[in-house]
């Protein structure tokens, strides 16, 4: 419970006093800001309108003054100056300055859209700004439409102005120009800013006064709530001796009702805790006695149960061991049967291996003979190739002789042709014979060249064949050696197969005898297993009965412990309260 109280204190956020203060101050601040903004905007608009109205009055006064001075119409003289009847408006600068003397207001008289007389001085050359035109929107509004025009941000002479224009009319009512009155916006804005600052300071003062009043009221309300909160915290920590302040009990508001209800609750809770404390003591005593009785009974039952359990375990263990032995013997019998069958099959396989070994040995002998015949054939082929190579050499020598004969024949035919040419007509027949002999000699040379190429190719093939036959002869010799070694090793394996066949036959006889003994052992083990199972079943029934009795006693003991634990827990909870 103390842990829950601490967790609740950690989760405690903004206090009620701060909430009341923020709930009161928040709307006040918002209202103060709204009022300040509204008052500032209103002052700005009002002051602008007031200044514009003053400028309008100035323009009207200026128009009325000129009308009073001379009732004639406005016009331009030969020098381009503005005149009104006999009054030269452009030349009389003192008159126009007298309208704004001692003020920041500026006035101008327009004839059409052109400034003809003004009190404005140019900041660039220090002269009066005359001869310049008004902006198109002013001309459109005043001269073309005949209406008055006002502006709060009109740029004149390089700075913003509050301006007011009124139309200048002739005696016939036609608009022929304008009267202007204006004041710099900076002066007006500084005046407005001063007034707005005063309003802000006033709102700030009022807000501070409201904050002080709200803080005092919040502190007075939350003080009583904090006192009650402290009492509640003490009660939550188990302290029922906490006393509420008399001032809180005497209050007539909701906090007083809460304090009196809390006082009544503490009194009633103290009486209930006292009754529970007495009942928990009695409950603890009865639970202790019941637990002692259950403990004694459970101890006796445990001893009987352990004895029966030991007997049961012995019977079960014996039955399990007998059953295990039965399975082992049965498995052993099956293994013996499999072994006997496998040995029989192994015996048959051994016989087949022996016959196969004999056949393989015969085949190896035949292969050896065939290899020997192959070696003899290769040697004969090598001899024939060598003879062929020698024949090729003899043919080459003969071919050289034929080539020499063909060359001599060709030389003789050439000489015969020369002699026939010398003989003239008488040697013509001899020349024909000489030509045929020369032709035959050339054909012999060509055939000899072809035969020489064939003999060269045959010689190369014969040499390659001899090289291959040499390698083949070496490989056959190596194969013959390995064949002899294989025959020797195979003879040794064949002897081992014969010995293995004899041993397998002996093992087969012994396995048959072992299988006959296995049948007798299985019968004995099965009878012993049936007897062990009957004993185990009887002991299991006895053990089950004791376990049920022991479980009942344990339930009784657990109930007694639970009752005692409940009484102890109740006692601990009661100790939490201080009465």
pLDDT single digits (tens) 261-294: 878 887 777 777 777 777 767 667 766 776 676 6
Tokens of 157: 């002479």
Least confident of 94-98, 106-110, 195-199, 556-560: 556-560
d(CA 120, CA 154): 14
- The percent of residues above 90 in pLDDT, for the chain, comes to 12
Q: What is the CATH number of domain 362-502?
A: 1.10.287.950
Which is more confident, 148 or 224? Answer: 148
Q: What is the mean pLDDT of residues 347-359?
A: 73
Q: Are 531 and 255 in contact (CB under 8 A)?
A: no
Which of 15, 143, 529 has its CA nearest to residue 320? 529
d(CA 402, CA 13): 133
Tokens of 182: 């204006």
Backbone angles phi, psi at 118, to 5 degrees: -160, 160
Backbone angles phi, psi at 179, to 5 degrees: -110, 135
- Per-residue pLDDT at 1 exceeds 50: no
Q: Side by side, which strands form the sheet with 74-76?
A: 74-76, 82-84, 87-88
If DSSP states are collapsed to H, E and C, what string results for 23-77? Answer: HHHHHHHHHHHHHHHHHHHHHHHHHHHHHHHHHHHHHHHHHHHHHHHCCCCEEEC
**Whole-number pLDDT of residue 60:** 94
Which is more confident, 83 or 434? Answer: 83
**Whole-number pLDDT of residue 182:** 92
244 — alpha (psi -120 to 50), left (phi > 0) or beta?
Answer: beta
Which of 218, 197, 201 has its CA nearest to residue 16? 218
| Winning range, highest mean pLDDT, from 146-155, 267-276, 546-555 | 146-155
The predicted model scores a pTM of 0.36
Name the β-bridge partners of 111: 114, 177
**Whole-number pLDDT of residue 300:** 65
> If you ran DSSP here, which 8-state letter would residue 144 be given?
I
d(CA 231, CA 266): 10
Long-range contacts for 111-115 (Cβ within 8 Å, ≥24 apart)? 111/74, 111/76, 111/82, 111/168, 111/176, 111/177, 112/143, 112/176, 112/177, 113/139, 113/143
| Winning range, highest mean pLDDT, from 90-99, 317-326, 527-536 | 90-99
Q: Are 225 and 255 in contact (CB under 8 A)?
A: yes
Which is more confident, 20 or 569? Answer: 569
pLDDT digits (tens, 9 = 90+) for 449-491: 887 888 788 777 777 877 877 777 787 778 777 777 777 776 7
| Winning range, highest mean pLDDT, from 381-385, 416-420, 430-434 | 416-420
**Whole-number pLDDT of residue 4:** 47
- Per-residue pLDDT at 246 exceeds 70: yes
Which is more confident, 7 or 462? Answer: 462
Say whether domain 17-210 belongs to CATH 3.30.450.20: yes
**Whole-number pLDDT of residue 2:** 47
- Per-residue pLDDT at 127 exceeds 80: yes
Q: Which residues does 246 contact at the CB level (< 8 Å), separation at least 6?
A: none
Element (H, E) at 307: helix 254-423
| Direct distance between the N- and C-terminal alpha carbons of the chain, in angstroms, rounded to an integer | 17
For residue 56, what pLDDT band results from cuts at 50, 70 and 90? very high
d(CA 375, CA 484): 15
- Per-residue pLDDT at 213 exceeds 60: yes
**Whole-number pLDDT of residue 115:** 93
Q: Which residues does 10 contact at the CB level (< 8 Å), separation at least 6?
A: none
**Whole-number pLDDT of residue 560:** 67
Per DSSP, helices labelled H in 237-253 are 246-250
pLDDT digits (tens, 9 = 90+) for 327-346: 766 776 677 677 667 767 76
pLDDT digits (tens, 9 = 90+) for 79-100: 889 999 889 998 888 899 898 8
Report in angstroms the alpha-carbon separations of 184 from 125, 132, 292, 520.
19, 19, 108, 137
If DSSP states are collapsed to H, E and C, what string results for 256-302? Answer: HHHHHHHHHHHHHHHHHHHHHHHHHHHHHHHHHHHHHHHHHHHHHHH
**Whole-number pLDDT of residue 486:** 74
| Winning range, highest mean pLDDT, from 116-120, 123-127, 410-414, 458-462 | 116-120
Is 362-502 the same fold as 17-210? no
Question: To which residue do tokens 């004839």 refer?
Answer: 111
Q: What's the mean pLDDT when you consider all of the chain?
A: 77
d(CA 337, CA 344): 11
- Per-residue pLDDT at 6 exceeds 70: no
Backbone angles phi, psi at 83, to 5 degrees: -130, 155
- Per-residue pLDDT at 157 exceeds 70: yes
For residue 212, what pLDDT band results from cuts at 50, 70 and 90? confident
Domain extent listing, the chain: 17-210, 362-502
């Amino acid at each position: 419970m103390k842990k829950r109280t601490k967790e609740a204190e950690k989760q405690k956020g903004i206090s009620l006093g701060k909430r009341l203060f923020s709930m009161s101050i928040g709307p006040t601040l918002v209202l103060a800001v709204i009022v300040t903004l509204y008052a500032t905007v209103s002052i700005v608009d009002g002051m602008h309108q007031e200044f514009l109205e003053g400028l309008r009055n100035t323009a009207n006064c200026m128009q009325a003054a000129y009308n009073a001075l001379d009732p004639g119409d406005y016009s331009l003289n030969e020098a381009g100056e503005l005149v009104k009847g006999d009054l030269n408006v452009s030349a009389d600068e003192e008159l126009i300055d007298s309208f704004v003397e001692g003020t920041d207001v500026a006035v101008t008289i327009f004839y059409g859209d052109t400034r003809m007389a003004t009190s404005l001085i140019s900041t660039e050359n220090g002269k009066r700004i005359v001869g310049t035109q008004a902006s198109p929107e002013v001309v459109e509004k005043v001269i073309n439409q005949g209406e008055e025009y006002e502006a709060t941000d009109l740029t004149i002479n390089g700075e913003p102005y509050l301006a007011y224009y009124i139309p200048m009319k002739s005696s016939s009512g036609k608009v022929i120009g304008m009267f202007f009155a204006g004041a710099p916006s900076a002066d007006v804005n500084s005046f407005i800013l001063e007034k707005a600052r005063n309003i802000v300071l006033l709102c700030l003062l009022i807000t501070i006064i409201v904050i002080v009043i709200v803080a005092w009221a919040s502190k007075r309300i939350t003080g009583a709530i904090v006192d009650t909160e402290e009492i509640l915290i003490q009660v939550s920590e188990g302290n029922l001796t906490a006393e509420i302040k008399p001032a809180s009990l005497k209050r007539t508001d909701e906090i007083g009702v809460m304090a009196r209800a809390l006082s009544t609750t503490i009194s009633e809770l103290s009486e209930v805790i006292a009754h529970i404390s007495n009942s928990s003591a009695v409950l603890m005593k009865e639970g202790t006695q019941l637990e002692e009785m259950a403990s004694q009974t459970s101890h006796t039952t445990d001893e009987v149960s352990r004895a029966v359990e030991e007997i049961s375990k012995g019977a079960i263990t014996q039955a399990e061991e007998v059953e295990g032995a039965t399975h082992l013997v049965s498995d052993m019998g099956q293994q013996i049967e499999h072994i006997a069958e496998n040995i029989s099959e192994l015996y048959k396989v051994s016989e087949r291996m022996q016959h196969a070994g004999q056949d393989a040995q015969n085949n190896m002998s035949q292969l050896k003979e065939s290899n020997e015949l192959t070696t003899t054939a290769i040697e004969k082929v090598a001899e024939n190739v060598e003879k062929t190579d020698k024949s090729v050499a003899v043919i080459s020598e003969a071919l050289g002789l034929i080539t020499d004969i063909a060359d001599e024949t060709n030389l003789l035919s050439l000489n015969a042709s020369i002699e026939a040419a010398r003989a003239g007509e008488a040697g013509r027949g001899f020349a024909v014979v000489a030509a045929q002999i020369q032709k035959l000699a050339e054909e012999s040379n060509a055939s000899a060249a072809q035969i020489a190429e064939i003999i060269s190719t045959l010689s190369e093939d014969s040499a390659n064949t001899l090289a291959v036959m040499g390698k083949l002869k070496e490989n056959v010799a190596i194969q013959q050696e390995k064949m002899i070694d294989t025959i020797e090793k195979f003879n040794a394996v064949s002897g081992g197969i014969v010995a293995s066949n004899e041993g397998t036959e002996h093992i087969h006889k012994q396995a048959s005898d072992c299988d006959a003994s296995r049948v007798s052992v299985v019968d004995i083990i099965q009878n012993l297993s049936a007897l062990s199972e009957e004993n185990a079943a009887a002991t299991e029934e006895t053990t089950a009965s004791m376990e049920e009795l022991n479980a009942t006693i344990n339930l009784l003991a657990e109930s007694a412990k639970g009752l005692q634990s409940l009484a102890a827990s109740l006692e601990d909870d009661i100790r939490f309260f201080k009465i």
